[in-house]
Structure 1
């Protein structure tokens, strides 16, 4: 099939590559000239494992092309995917201005039947809005269909997820569009769920909101574990064996970030508000996440006391491994707070080598984990890149001013770290810094039990 993909972000580019690899003729439309020139030369505008190699192969085989304007290819396209960004407005609502511009252009340029596929994450009812905008901007009344086809790509594995999706959701209003989309996805070995437009739009938001809920829930359990002496790793392992719960997204830490969960949870709260529903549960999920990053700073102050003029090392800046995306990354908030408290920050990230979009100004970027920890009073693991899992602890300790390690992602074995002479603290696991506090907390628990049940 002949396909146009409008928008060359994570979603658009991964979608375009996966569709081109299955024999379709794909053109990508990107309005930003810098990004467009990189793409034409086989350079990915962002870090995503395997994407650049796949991109270069498709360019050599002439299976994918790049253009600045949709009018160059619209008349040759049977299907148009819209994958433009829908960032959060100050209110939390999704900004649909980019999508509206594309729909307006499609309406003006259309000369025959098209299937317009909304791949961007959009509020419920956006597909109906898209249909109205396209229709209002047509010079003549050409037939078309709008399809909702939400993405479920994870940054760091976006290309794999596009090639091997867990499911395909198709919100279709006509048999013709449904048949075209089913033919397009014949290569997929996964369930294809066909539903109405609005249910399809809601599936995306509901999925991300539920995953965010699991993360905030396990983080709250971890915060309790910190105070009662339980081990969140063991708690999550026991919970995850229940098939009704599952083990995915039960890793406690410093909270979620990135371009999806923060944006989509806020947007769903706004969607609910527009229909007079107070989404109390999701508001609590967001509130928990907004506070969770502070745990590592609290632990830092517990172990070091006043951190003014002390050097703090941050390992990892991206919101998760496998990507260079720092949108809503906990690292930004942690660094800002350390700076506010007068600390000096040294950082290392395997793919981010300097300030990004105004973030990380005033910090020292280093060449490797050991250089970042040189002369440091504490190391905070923020992003669990593989490189940080293979550390020579004695080499690290030798270069530090004080051997303090705060594990914001619970990736290290506490016994190993303590055996190497470090003061170690993590999220929701018994560790050196909280043993005394745990004993005091448990005494309070016993005292309450004695009074209530007359336990002697």
Structure 2
């Protein structure tokens, strides 16, 4: 059992700390946001992640997990300190390390014994060395410490499962002692542990996310070709995904990637490459394709309606993906304001991300948690997130509720033959349109 302090109670910190407690360690999760800590102390959870609330409650009850805003005391009590604060994208695309630097300073001022200091946040190459330098500058006594880079590879919506059953753990450090300590922490989670240098570990996370983002943009470019030549991108994905060298993951054509990682990490990788004098043209193209997908889905909608002005549009999905309330870089954040500015009335549905969206968009749209209420008298339905509630829609009921049976699907949820059978005008990504040009509005 190790005494672990996790600094930062966001997505990465809270999931990691809870899972370390579940595996038998004594964990303190701390944050300088007292409102967030008070919420956690009262049983609240600031993020939605399946299974997280239950696991937190279990380990708080066992006494292996606690929360505090006293970061200095938490540092002094720890053997292992995880840095899991945010590294948001700056206007230049570079990762903003101000939170990391502040934490490093605080650690240096409060080190009172040997500590292993682990970066869990996604950070540019060289950040581990920077943290080491800052801590040394602020040490009050010459206590020993080691620096480790231990990037996370979690998918929101499956984070608990994927932490407790990791595919691999990457540990970047020059210290044998630190490697042994962090390796032992991960042995309950995985048998595949890769030891590398600090710099290698830091770039592995960016490289992994950039590669997955590339697969998404690649299949979206193929989808755009499929629409022009009469092919079906879902079958193309299936065909190439059967090749074991390629695999079928991240080959679902649609509206593009969002969330807290892919947009930020691809931009940061471009900045890293520029800083070392390399023009990473491929990743620039990946980002360009991704931005274009949001434009294309709106163009399909405008083309079908003729105009957005005076139309009622039902938007299904606000989170960037299902099973999370995370709206960071969600397509909805770009698309809803565009629809509203162009004269449309927007009725938006999401089972859990409504409150988060209100903080960003205010009342640029009407919000609903009942999916069928969202669809009442709509001129068109725009699908942005593939929630189960959307996949399981009663299409007969949908057709009765809508003013006209027009669905523009950014996630390719429905089968083309099914939509033909139900009489919808159905426009999806990388597939041929169904009943295009045959929309008949109902009299109201």
TM-score (norm 1): 0.94
SS of the equivalent of 1:336 reads helix
| In structure 2, distance between residues paired with 1:239 and 1:435 | 32
SS of the equivalent of 1:358 reads helix
| In structure 1, distance between residues paired with 2:179 and 2:321 | 36
| In structure 2, distance between residues paired with 1:309 and 1:11 | 43
SS of the equivalent of 2:203 reads helix
Match of 1:13 in 2: 14
Measured on the aligned residues, the alpha-carbon RMSD in Å equals 1.3
Residue of 353, 363, 366 corresponding to 2:365:
363
Match of 1:205 in 2: 206
* Deviation sequence 1:199-223 (CA, Å, 0-9, x none): 0101000000000000000000001
Matched, 1:332 2:314: no
Match of 1:163 in 2: 164
SS of the equivalent of 1:345 reads strand
SS of the equivalent of 1:123 reads coil
Match of 1:396 in 2: 398
SS of the equivalent of 1:73 reads helix
| In structure 2, distance between residues paired with 1:174 and 1:338 | 55
CA contact (8 A) 1:10 1:158 kept: no
Matches within 5 A, 1:11-410: 11-354=12-355, 355-359=357-361, 361-410=363-412
SS of the equivalent of 1:217 reads helix
* Deviation sequence 1:154-205 (CA, Å, 0-9, x none): 1111111211111000001111111111221221233100011100101000
| In structure 2, distance between residues paired with 1:433 and 1:209 | 37
SS of the equivalent of 1:432 reads coil
CA contact (8 A) 1:86 1:95 kept: yes
Number of residue-to-residue matches in the alignment: 436
Structure with bigger gyration radius: 1
SS of the equivalent of 1:294 reads helix
| In structure 1, distance between residues paired with 2:154 and 2:191 | 14
Q: In the TM superposition, what is the alpha-carbon distance from 1:433 to its structure 2 partner?
A: 5.8
Larger deviation, residues 374-383 vs 68-77? 68-77
Q: In the TM superposition, what is the alpha-carbon distance from 1:295 to its structure 2 partner?
A: 1.6
Larger deviation, residues 265-274 vs 160-169? 160-169
103 and 129 in structure 1: CA distance in 2 versus 1, 3 angstrom threshold? same
| In structure 2, distance between residues paired with 1:427 and 1:154 | 24
* Deviation sequence 1:26-74 (CA, Å, 0-9, x none): 0001111111111112211011111011111111111111111222222
Structure 1 segments (4+ residues) deviating >4 Å = 433-436
TM-score (norm 2): 0.96
Q: In the TM superposition, what is the alpha-carbon distance from 1:340 to its structure 2 partner?
A: 2.4
| In structure 1, distance between residues paired with 2:17 and 2:10 | 10
| In structure 2, distance between residues paired with 1:250 and 1:380 | 21
| In structure 2, distance between residues paired with 1:393 and 1:434 | 18
CA contact (8 A) 2:420 2:435 kept: no
Q: In the TM superposition, what is the alpha-carbon distance from 1:411 to its structure 2 partner?
A: 1.2
* Deviation sequence 1:225-262 (CA, Å, 0-9, x none): 11111000000000001111111000000000010000
Matches within 5 A, 1:377-456: 377-432=379-434
